[in-house]
């Protein structure tokens, strides 16, 4: 993923999110069952879906990295996972706020999607200590790709298992966008989803740009040091073109 078109994308993201949030607070009708607090979902659900898709995309990039050896896929994988983990924090906090509003507790074990997400989030948090514990750059990239693939395969399994465990005891409390949503809510949801997805891409691109620039500077620094006989270096994944 390159930095091209970042400016246009950021502006588009901003506009979409503004329109989305305006729809949420000024236009869409109140939910009959849950009232005003239902509006959290227009933020919480898109964040969750985008984060999960991001994790899976990270796995796909990991796979492509192993296949081709092209380091750019590894950089993509790293950034996709990084941004998705950040979104994950927001998912868990907004989920906790919803739980508090609905059940009076900051956390509920009854909501399978939230619990599944927590487990996935914890797994991906281990990506960083894992990555930085391996010193050799090539090996680090390869192992990280293996991790990304394994974790990507894990996501659907995890949701399935937790879902099964909960449905035995409690009926689903959380009605999402699938089926039964009135058009106005669906439209609002889709706009918010588009905005959040674009935000994800914007942040990913931004991070890629930052990495590229840092990488180039390191490269220049190394060239200069070699010429002049100095030394230096670091471990983190970088993008050098």
Partner 1 sequence: MFDATPTDAVGYVFSAYLFFLLMVLLYIAILGAKFQRINRNLGELLDDIKADRNEAGDDPAKAPVTAASAKEPERAVEESGV
Partner 2 sequence: MTPSRTAFAALLGKDLRTELRTMRSLPAMVLFAVTTFIIFRYSLDRTTLEGSLAGGVLWTTLLFASILGINRIFVSELEEGGFDAIRLAPIDRTVLFTAKASALFIYLAVLQVIVVPVFAIFFLSDFSALIPLVAVLLTVNLGFSVLGTLISSMAVNSRARDLLVPLLLLPLVVPLMIAATGASAGLFDAAGPDYDGFGSWLLVAGLYDGVFLLVGYAVFEFLLED
Among 97, 165, 177, 181, binds partner 1 (CB under 8 A): 97
Among 7, 22, 37, 150, binds partner 2 (CB under 8 A): 150
Nearest to 159 by CA among 34, 38, 58, 51: 51
Output the smallest distance, CB 43 to partner 2, in A.
25
Backbone dihedral angles phi then psi of residue 31, each to the nearest 5 degrees = -70, 135
Site map (CB under 8 A) of partner 1, residues 165-204, x = contact:
----------------------------------x---x-
Is residue 10 a contact residue for partner 1 (CB under 8 A)?
no
Helix (H) or strand (E) holding 41: helix 41-68
Q: Which residues contact 181 (CB under 8 A, 6 or more apart)?
A: 175, 189
Q: Is 22 helix (H, G, I), strand (E, B) or coil?
A: helix
Size of the site for partner 1 (CB under 8 A): 39
Is residue 32 a contact residue for partner 1 (CB under 8 A)?
no
Backbone dihedral angles phi then psi of residue 35, each to the nearest 5 degrees = 75, -150
Is residue 161 a contact residue for partner 2 (CB under 8 A)?
yes
Whole-angstrom Cα distance, residue 89 to residue 84? 9
Which stretches does DSSP call E strand in the chain? none
Per CB under 8 A, contacts with partner 2 among 167-186 are: 168
What are the residues binding partner 1 (CB under 8 A)? Answer: 3, 21, 35-37, 39-40, 43-44, 47, 86, 89-90, 93-94, 97-98, 100-104, 199, 203, 206, 209-210, 212-214, 216-217, 220-221, 223-224, 227-229
């Amino acid at each position: 993923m390159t930095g091209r078109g970042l400016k246009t994308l950021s502006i588009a993201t901003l506009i979409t999110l503004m329109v989305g949030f305006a729809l949420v607070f000024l236009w869409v009708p109140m939910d009959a069952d849950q009232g005003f607090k239902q509006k959290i979902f227009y933020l919480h659900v898109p964040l969750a879906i985008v984060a999960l898709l991001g994790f899976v995309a990270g796995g796909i990039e990991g796979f492509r990295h192993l296949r081709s050896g092209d380091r750019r896929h590894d950089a993509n994988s790293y950034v996709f996972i990084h941004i998705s983990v950040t979104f994950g924090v927001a998912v868990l906090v907004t989920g906790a706020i919803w739980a508090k509003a609905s059940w009076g507790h900051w956390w509920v074990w009854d909501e399978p999607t939230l619990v599944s997400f927590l487990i996935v989030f914890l797994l991906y948090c281990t990506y960083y200590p894992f990555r930085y514990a391996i010193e050799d750059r090539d090996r680090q990239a390869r192992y990280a790709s293996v991790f990304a693939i394994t974790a990507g395969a894990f996501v659907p399994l995890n949701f399935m298992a937790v879902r099964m465990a909960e449905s035995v005891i409690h009926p689903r409390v959380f009605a999402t966008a699938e089926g039964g949503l009135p058009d106005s809510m669906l439209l609002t949801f889709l706009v918010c989803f588009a905005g959040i997805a674009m935000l994800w891409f914007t942040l990913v691109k931004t991070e890629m740009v930052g990495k590229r620039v840092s990488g180039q500077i390191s490269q220049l620094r190394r060239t200069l040091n070699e010429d002049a006989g100095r030394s230096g270096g670091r471990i983190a994944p970088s993008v050098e073109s």
